[in-house]
């Protein structure tokens, strides 16, 4: 295998081997602690602009299974593992990880000390890095340090819709509910979860305005996951659209980035985390019941909800979930609408919180009943 290097913006470098596409790449270095679900990680649009490090050492042992993809495209900029498996064993697999990355033009790096790299990120916070096939020099470090993720939502909005837009999984024992999905880089699992619950999902790009969505008269609205900083100036139009929809009283369910954007539309703030939450073993506590759920997460920002905010908005905004490890906000309830920071649709697992889709649809049904009776929608 050909020698390759990772150079971090702080000057620390690692020597390893290239796999996948043999080309240079620059991105924000983040790590995920998931032991399985690497196919869902690779095809999650939320990783746009990032180089993902798998903390579990052996990746690729069950091969490549397109049916498990979250989108048709790989959006991350690079992939780092300790040992990539070149001889997977699974009756559903069509090829190995190396072949997939080569086909998709994604650079992979293996053979480095991923444990040490993870510890550096945990201690220093998220760092930019560059993978190169030549021994790194100061120019490489400077290029990594200067890197900024540009237009992340714009670059991934709509790429997962082609996988599930046909809505073939809708059951027809009753009239399907019409749900609008605002796609900021949605994972296919969100649409699948709604299809299984007898919903017809209509996808809208991130550039749509409220009038465009209301043309279909949706019964409810999903705000999807996606990449980047929620408070990025490029998201101002999205936030304004969400604010208009929210004021109409239509039930809204925000997931991950959707959770953050809904909070911003409601006047709350977001903040960048030191190294974020990425993996399938994040514990969150339901404040109302005290029950703890294990969740799948992928985010580097959180909603800055605190006791002062609670007092200010105690009649309209309730904190519903918190992270057990660090106390950061994991969910907010606004009445007819609510949102969570984690992924209840997690195709790679766990599915502990999939019931949140049922809660959303209960609120949708209640909204539809109010509209049919000619009453004003709750706002």
Active site residues: 256, 343, 345
Look up tokens 């993902």; give the residue: 52
Contact 272, 241 (CB under 8 A): no
The C-alpha atoms of residue 286 and residue 351 are separated, in whole angstroms, by 15
| Helix 257-265, helix 236-247: angle, nearest 10 | 70
The C-alpha atoms of residue 34 and residue 339 are separated, in whole angstroms, by 23
Contact 185, 45 (CB under 8 A): yes
The dihedral through the CA atoms of 214, 203, 299, 29 has a sign that is: negative
Burial (Cβ within 10 Å: 0-12, 13-18, ≥19) of residue 61 = middle
Backbone angles phi, psi at 218, to 5 degrees: -70, 150
Select from 150, 322, 273, 297 the least CA-distant residue to 225: 297
In this structure, what DSSP letter does residue 39 have? Answer: H
Length of the chain: 379
């Amino acid at each position: 295998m050909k020698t390759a290097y990772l150079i971090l913006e702080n000057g620390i470098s690692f020597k390893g081997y290239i796999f996948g596409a043999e080309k240079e790449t620059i991105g924000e270095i983040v790590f995920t602690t998931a032991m399985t679900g690497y196919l869902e990680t690779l095809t999650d649009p939320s990783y746009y602009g990032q180089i993902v490090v798998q903390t579990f050492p052996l990746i690729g042992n069950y091969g490549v299974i397109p049916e498990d993809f979250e989108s048709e495209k790989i959006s991350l900029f690079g992939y780092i593992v300790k040992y990539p498996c070149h001889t997977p064993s699974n009756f559903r697999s069509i090829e190995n990880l190396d072949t997939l990355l080569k086909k998709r033009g994604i650079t992979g790096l293996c053979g480095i000390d991923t444990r040490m790299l993870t510890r550096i990120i945990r201690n220093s916070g998220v760092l930019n890095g560059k993978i190169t096939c030549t021994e790194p020099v100061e120019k490489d470090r400077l290029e990594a340090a200067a890197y900024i993720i540009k237009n992340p939502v714009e670059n991934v909005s709509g790429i997962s819709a082609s996988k599930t837009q046909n809505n073939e999984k809708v059951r027809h024992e009753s009239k399907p509910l019409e749900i609008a999905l605002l796609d900021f880089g949605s994972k296919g699992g969100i649409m699948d979860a709604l299809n299984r619950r007898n919903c017809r999902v209509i996808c809208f790009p991130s550039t749509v305005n409220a009038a465009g969505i209301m043309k279909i008269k949706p019964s409810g609205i999903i705000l999807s996951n996606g990449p980047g900083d929620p408070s990025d100036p490029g998201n101002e139009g999205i936030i304004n659209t969400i604010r208009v929809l929210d004021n109409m009283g239509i039930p809204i369910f925000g997931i991950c980035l959707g959770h953050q954007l809904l909070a911003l539309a409601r006047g709350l703030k977001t903040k960048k985390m030191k190294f974020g939450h990425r993996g399938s073993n994040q514990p969150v506590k339901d404040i109302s019941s005290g029950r703890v759920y294990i969740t799948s997460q992928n985010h580097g920002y959180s909603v800055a909800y605190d006791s002062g905010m609670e007092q200010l908005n105690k009649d309209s905004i309730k904190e519903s979930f918190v992270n057990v490890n660090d106390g950061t906000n994991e969910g907010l309830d606004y009445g007819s609408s609510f949102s969570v920071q984690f992924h209840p649709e997690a195709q790679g697992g766990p599915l502990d919180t999939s019931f949140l889709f049922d809660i959303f649809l209960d609120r949708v049904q209640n909204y539809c009943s109010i509209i049919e009776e000619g009453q004003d929608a709750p706002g």
